[in-house]
Amino acid sequence: METVTPQRVSNKRRLLENALALYANQFAGYIFPLILIPYIARTLHPAALGKVAMAQVFATWSAMLMNFGFSLSASREVAMSQEDPAKLSEIFSSVMAAKGMLACIVVLLAAVVGHYVQIFRDSPSFLFAALLIAAMNGMNLTWFFLGLERVRFITFFDLAAKTCSLTGVLLTVKGPQDAWKVLAFQGAGAAIPAAAGMMMALRYAKVKAPTFARTWRTIAQSWSFFLVNSIITFYGSANVMILGTIQSARIVGFYSGADKSVRPFCNLFGPITQALYPRMSILVNVNFREASRLAFRSMRILVSAGIAMGLIVSISAPLIVKILLGNDYLASIPVVRLLAWLIPLTAAGFSVGQQGMLPFGFEKMFVRTVMVSAAVDVCLAFFLSAKVGAVGLVLAMLVAETITVVGNYWYLSYRGVAPHQWHQQREVPISQVLASQGQAYWHSPKTSTDAANSDQLEVNVEILREEARID
pLDDT at 399 over 90: yes
3-class DSSP string for 8-19: CCCHHHHHHHHH
Within-domain flag for 467: no
Number of domains in the chain: 2
197, 221, 245 - which closes a domain: 221
- Convert the pLDDT of each residue in 19-48 to its tens digit: 666 667 767 776 787 777 667 766 776 567
Same domain, 215 and 245: no
pLDDT at 348 over 70: yes
Within-domain flag for 303: yes
Same domain, 443 and 312: yes
Mean pLDDT on 319-331? 76
Same domain, 207 and 302: no
Same domain, 267 and 414: yes
236-240, 344-348, 398-402, 467-471: least confidently modelled range = 467-471
118-122, 130-134, 416-420: least confidently modelled range = 416-420
Percent of the chain with pLDDT over 90: 14
Same domain, 192 and 47: yes
Within-domain flag for 40: yes
CB 126 within 8 A of CB 183: yes
pLDDT at 312 over 60: yes
Question: 272 versus 11: which is more confidently predicted?
Answer: 272
Within-domain flag for 408: yes
Return d(Cα 78, Cα 62) in angstroms, integer: 24
Return d(Cα 137, Cα 224) in angstroms, integer: 21
Give me the domain span that covers residue 417: 223-459
Cα-trace Rg, the chain:
23
Res. 459 pLDDT band, cuts 50 70 90 = very low
Question: 202 versus 246: which is more confidently predicted?
Answer: 202
pLDDT at 308 over 90: yes
Return d(Cα 185, Cα 56) in angstroms, integer: 12
- What integer best gives the mean pLDDT of the chain? 77
Return d(Cα 332, Cα 258) in angstroms, integer: 6
Q: How far is CA 311 from CA 186, 299, 362, 454, in A?
A: 36, 18, 32, 45
Q: What is the pLDDT of residue 470?
A: 35
CB 36 within 8 A of CB 166: yes
Return d(Cα 160, Cα 289) in angstroms, integer: 40
